[in-house]
Amino acid sequence: MNLPPLVQTFVLHFGEMGSRWGINRTVGQIYALLYLSKEPLNAEDIVERIGVSRSNVSMGLKELQAWNLVRLQHKPGDRRDYFSTPDDIWQIVRTLVEERKKREIDPTMSLLREVLMQEPASAEERHAQDRMREMHDLFELLTGWYADVQRLDTERLVQLLTLGSKVQKILEMKDRLFVVPGSRKGRPDDAKDK
Amino acid sequence: MNLPPLVQTFVLHFGEMGSRWGINRTVGQIYALLYLSKEPLNAEDIVERIGVSRSNVSMGLKELQAWNLVRLQHKPGDRRDYFSTPDDIWQIVRTLVEERKKREIDPTMSLLREVLMQEPASAEERHAQDRMREMHDLFELLTGWYADVQRLDTERLVQLLTLGSKVQKILEMKDRLFVVPGSRKGRPDDAKDK
DNA sequence: CCGAAATTTCAGAATTTTCTGAAATATTGG
DNA sequence: CCAATATTTCAGAAAATTCTGAAATTTCGG
């Protein structure tokens, strides 16, 4: 591995971290390297710096492309492929969340929908179905929220995140301003915390 | 595997999904089974239903305990350990997020802090450090927001999530109500979207 | 359309992870 | 404190994943 120490530390860390997510060490390292690099890199550059085989880099880049996490570009008079990550880190976050949703939440949601259609054949199955319905509703709430937030432009998103705990204050204010005085507080269908 | 079809579908799915997260198939299956089960289960119950070895179940339960994802309890007159998941699915979400933060974000943050202290020895290192600083600041923003939201009680959290896109409206309203007219909109240091 | 350069594919080797059965250890009712 | 029961540990087997080098394929300048 042929990298400035500071870069190497980060690249190694991301390699290890990769295993905690579904990606392998090499993919994590390639991504980290591209993320830190000022200039786009070609496959051979990556081979030299990370020190893995050319074919491994090829597969890693393919996977990163499948995740939409790298951008492919060309330099004039050079027919090699050059790769880079978006300059805007928020774009990276958006892509990451979107792709993870696509791979993890969406398939689970369709499985849940499917299973919830079936007729339970026993008390045990009925309870299991109830549990699955809770999960389904939770995911629906989260993905609905996500879809909305995803649409916000970055400036507003940052504003929202910075707001942090003050959100509660704003909700309270909203309640005071808009809720009909004397109306009940909870909604009937999710008042089931044990 | 000895389970009602409906339960089996879900358990198998979670087993596969497990690999996308850092956990293995058996751990995913055990968790799914416990999640769906009305009654707490002991290790032998799990062996019978999932069809893996007793020792594998023991290790899986140990891992789930390390993640704080299962609760250990006892039945009177029975000295076996019984396991269950919280009834409240929001509690599960909170634990999951908390633990993933602890394992993935926190170590990355301390690495970033450490590396950001060092003196860059070249233009390349300087740029890498800038990139790392962006990531550091992003994580700080996200974890700050998370810490605040984590503190909300579930009812308010659901309210906030349900609000969804209307959040933007409320932010705009807040701007109109509270921002000094004529003040600039953007913040100077993150106006760098490419 | 040829040939050099670049990239991808893929079978098998290397490595890592998962899983098992047997043995060790721990727990507790009597 | 013993014996029965429950749980954990762990070395090695099994399985899965990752990685490589060689060969195949693609690309494109001339």
Of all nucleotides, the one whose C1′ comes closest to residue A22's CA is D17
For the segment A94-122, the average pLDDT, to the nearest whole number, is: 96
Strand D: which nucleotides have any atom within 7 A of a protein Cβ?
5-10, 17-22, 27-29
Please give the residue of chain B at the shortest CA–CA distance from A87.
Answer: B194
d(CA B151, CA B128): 35
Residue B132 pLDDT greater than 50, yes or no:
yes
- Give the pLDDT of residue B74: 94
Which residues, numbered 14 to 33 in chain A, qualify as contacts with chain B under a Cβ-Cβ cut-off of 8 Å? 17, 19-22
Q: Which of A123-127, A183-187, B150-154, B181-185 has the lowest mean pLDDT?
A: A183-187
Q: Does an H or E element contain B165, and which? A: none
Q: Where are the domains of chain A?
A: 5-84, 88-151, 155-183
What pLDDT digit, counting tens, does each position of A59-77 carry? 999 999 999 999 999 999 8
Residue B2: strand, helix, or coil: coil
Specify whether the CB–CB gap between A20 and A38 falls below 8 A: no
Q: Does A115 contact B9 at a Cβ distance shorter than 8 Å? A: yes
- Give the pLDDT of residue B190: 45
Q: Does B134 contact A89 at a Cβ distance shorter than 8 Å? A: yes
Spell out which residues of A between 26 and 65 contact strand D, using CB within 7 Å.
Answer: 26-27, 52-56, 59-60
**Candidate CATH numbers 3.40.50.300, 3.10.20.30, 1.10.10.10, 3.30.420.40; the one for domain A5-84:** 1.10.10.10
Instruction: Report the b/e string of A34-58 with b at 16+ CB within 10 A.
Output: bbbbeebbbbebbbebbebeeebbe
User: Which residues on chain B are in Cβ contact (under 8 Å) with A87?
Assistant: 192-194
- Give the pLDDT of residue B187: 45
What would you measure as the largest C-alpha separation in chain A, in angstroms? 73
Angle formed at CA A73 by CA A69 and CA A74, multiple of 5 degrees: 160
**Pick from A92, A95, A114: nearest CA to A103:** A95
For the segment A173-186, the average pLDDT, to the nearest whole number, is: 61
What pLDDT digit, counting tens, does each position of B158-193 carry? 988 888 767 677 767 766 776 666 555 444 444 444
**Pick from B132, B110, B46, B8: nearest CA to A11:** B132
Residue A188 pLDDT greater than 60, yes or no:
no
Q: Does B21 contact A22 at a Cβ distance shorter than 8 Å? A: yes
Residue B118 pLDDT greater than 60, yes or no:
yes
Centre a 10 Å sphere on the Cβ of residue A158 and count the other Cβ atoms it contains.
17
Q: How far is B127 from chain A (nearest CA, A)?
A: 7
DSSP type of residue A119: P
- Please give the mean pLDDT across all residues of chain A: 89
- Give the pLDDT of residue B184: 54
User: Which residues on chain A are in Cβ contact (under 8 Å) with B140?
Assistant: none
